[in-house]
Structure 1
Amino acid sequence: MNALFIIAPIFGIVLIGWGAALAGLLSEKVSDGLSEYVFAVAVPALILATLTRPGMSGEIAWSYWISYFGGAAVSWLTGTLIAKRRAGVERRGAILHGFAASQSNTVFVGVPMILQAYGDEGAFPLFMLLAVHLPLMMGSATFLIESDSDKPILARLRGLALVLLKNPIFVALIIGMALRGAGITPSGIPKALIDAFAGTASTCALVALGAGLKRYRVLFDLKGAVVIALLKNMLHPLAVWLLAFHVFAMPTAYAGVATLFAAMPVGINAYLLASRYKTETGMIAASVLVSTLMAPLSALFWLTVLGKA
């Protein structure tokens, strides 16, 4: 029942947002604006509030990173190899299939669910993983896709750095870590403002995700979308779970956070990259929708495996 209490409010809000969009109560402009607010203001505030909280501390061993990104590599490689066997999927498209199979929806679903499941014990490993996940996954995908580009490597790396420095979540992680390292804790009016915005992050993120589902279509390639969704929701967390719990030694909360992080549905960044490079857009959009609709059951399964039921 604990697992149901964790996922029911989360995916209930997503369904309400989706239903409101389908009924015309929320327009695409509202959905886009809410998504921008969550990405640019609410989640960065949540990150700052969490990382500067008194008593927030921890230590991350290499086994934690290897477990998560090793699992991501397994899912990415599997997705790419499967895509290469499909007719009409070119090199960039195959890379995007693999990326979608390993890119977690961290901001809109992962942060609310993991904090609900593990609380303060999971906050530090969650945000440390979030800090590395964004640049490493996006950087790897961009580099692989553009590896056949005429641009020199330094130019590609410079472009990636500029993209990251313009990302509010990445900037918030850098500022939060700097404040934490300096022992500075916001207080008074700054703290009140940060907490006010941070308190809106989860609900607004879930409503924005639900409302945004209206624009995605499953009929483009249901079979392919289901394959990507299964790789993302089941293979990725399975590989991480095996590494975190059965190969390496780490605190139980850390291993659980890594597994749940991997169990999140396909992230919106996969669709954004597909749109940017104008390939496999319909397939990736369909996989976002299918994996999100599949997520309540897969999340319930993994919460049960992790002993949160």
Structure 2
Amino acid sequence: MLSSILVPLVPVILCIGTGYLIARVGWVRAAAVPDLSNILFLLLTPALLFRTMGQVHLQELDFRPVGLYFASAALLFGATLAWAPFTTATAARALAHTFSNTVMIGVPLISLVYGPAGLVALFTLVSLHSLVLLTAATLVFELAQARAGADDGHSMARTVWQAVRGSIVHPVPLPILAGLLFAQTGLPLPEVVDKPLQMLGAALGPMALLLVGIALAHTRIGAHWRGALRIAAIKNLVMPSTLAALAWALGLSGPAVAVMFTASALPVGANVLYFTQRYGVMQEEVSSAIAISTALALATVPLALAAARLFM
């Protein structure tokens, strides 16, 4: 059993480690990270998302596991807001506690462990992940900012609309929706299009994991490591524990629930940092939390994969 869990993780760890090493020896400089990210998010990710979802029919999708994920995220998000004063800093922590790295780490990991069926379940989550969590976070950030008297006078409705639009008109949800629409036509994807998409999609996994290692090598933990460690521990351990408890209470199980549980155990996603930069709060702590939770995931994800077998 242990070997069946560890075997899929070996290439994940090796790729992240290789990325870290080549960055540390100076082969990839920090200035190159944004360009590498653009290749990942604007080219490789859309290719894999479109090709995978282009073979899925809507009646085959089960949204109950996705609902389970968002319900557990809502519980943890609300608990974080209730535990501390209602400020933008608390909102940033709440988002960091619940927003997973579903693409850079989630896609290659789920593909290795659960195969194509697992990717379909993950992409169903990914198609709504940013839209639901980031829109909810925008509302909370705006309310906290207005309560603090720091509102700059812009319309909250406009801000929320911008968040919704940005979460849909995005290189992750758009190819998922386009692929699903194409699949409903019943037409086969021409080979001249399918083969390049297959090659680009196959490059996503190793490229994403290398970039995780490169980003880790160029991230400084700084003086905020205690707060960052708390965020990482809650994201990597409390979030999946919350989902597991909710699944048990509702009597939900199956491979898709196992995928949701694994996704909930992934480290903090980079979109949280973009939010902190937008609102000018918690930037260094969240940046450190992303690095720590990613490193911590090398130990916690194997535990999550072992526990996920209980849902199969």
Q: TM-score w.r.t. structure 1 length?
A: 0.91
2:123 to 127, 130, 141: 127
Partner of 1:195: 198
Q: Displacement of 1:82 after TM fit?
A: 5.0
2:138 to 135, 142, 145: 142
1:6 to 8, 24, 35: 8
Q: Deviations over 1:108-143 (max 9, x none)?
A: 101111121111232221111111111111111122
Large movers: runs of 4+ above 4 Å: 54-57
Q: Is 1:69 aligned with 2:70?
A: yes
Q: Displacement of 1:307 after TM fit?
A: 2.6
The letter for the 1-side match of 2:210 is V
Q: State how far apart, in whole Å, the 2-side matches of 1:228 and 1:80 are.
A: 14
Q: In the TM superposition, what are the counterparts of 1:145-224 in structure 2 within 5 Å?
A: 145-147=141-143, 148=146, 149=151, 150-224=153-227
8 Å Cα contact 1:80/1:94 also seen in 2: yes
Q: Is 1:93 aligned with 2:109?
A: no
Q: Displacement of 1:54 after TM fit?
A: 6.8
Q: Label 1:170 to 1:66 Cα distance change in 2 as closer, same or farther (>3 A).
A: closer
3-state secondary structure, aligned to 1:168: coil
Q: State how far apart, in whole Å, the 1-side matches of 2:104 and 2:308 are.
A: 21
Q: Label 1:57 to 1:51 Cα distance change in 2 as closer, same or farther (>3 A).
A: farther
1:257 to 256, 259, 270: 259
Q: Displacement of 1:190 after TM fit?
A: 0.8
Q: In the TM superposition, what are the counterparts of 1:233-244 in structure 2 within 5 Å?
A: 233-244=236-247
Q: State how far apart, in whole Å, the 2-side matches of 1:99 and 1:22 are.
A: 30
The letter for the 2-side match of 1:68 is Y
Q: State how far apart, in whole Å, the 1-side matches of 2:204 and 2:188 are.
A: 20
Q: Displacement of 1:302 after TM fit?
A: 0.9
Partner of 2:283: 281
Identify unmatched segments of 5+ residues in structure 2.
none
Q: State how far apart, in whole Å, the 2-side matches of 1:128 and 1:19 are.
A: 34
Q: State how far apart, in whole Å, the 2-side matches of 1:199 and 1:57 are.
A: 27
Q: Label 1:121 to 1:278 Cα distance change in 2 as closer, same or farther (>3 A).
A: same
RMSD: 2.0
Q: Deviations over 1:238-287 (max 9, x none)?
A: 1112222x123445101101100100000011111111211110100110
Q: Displacement of 1:171 after TM fit?
A: 1.2
Identify unmatched segments of 5+ residues in structure 1.
85-89
Q: Which moved more, 1:45-54 or 1:267-276?
A: 45-54
Q: State how far apart, in whole Å, the 1-side matches of 2:308 and 2:99 are.
A: 21
Q: How many residues get paired?
A: 301
3-state secondary structure, aligned to 2:267: coil
Q: Displacement of 1:229 after TM fit?
A: 0.5
Q: State how far apart, in whole Å, the 1-side matches of 2:80 and 2:21 are.
A: 31
Q: State how far apart, in whole Å, the 2-side matches of 1:139 and 1:183 are.
A: 33
3-state secondary structure, aligned to 1:139: helix
1:267 to 266, 269, 291: 269
Q: Which moved more, 1:116-125 or 1:257-266?
A: 116-125
Q: Label 1:198 to 1:56 Cα distance change in 2 as closer, same or farther (>3 A).
A: farther
The letter for the 2-side match of 1:39 is F
Q: Report % sequence identity.
A: 22
3-state secondary structure, aligned to 2:223: coil
Partner of 1:87: none
Q: Deviations over 1:136-160 (max 9, x none)?
A: 1111112211232433343123312
Q: Label 1:69 to 1:56 Cα distance change in 2 as closer, same or farther (>3 A).
A: closer
Q: Displacement of 1:202 after TM fit?
A: 0.6
8 Å Cα contact 2:40/2:208 also seen in 1: yes
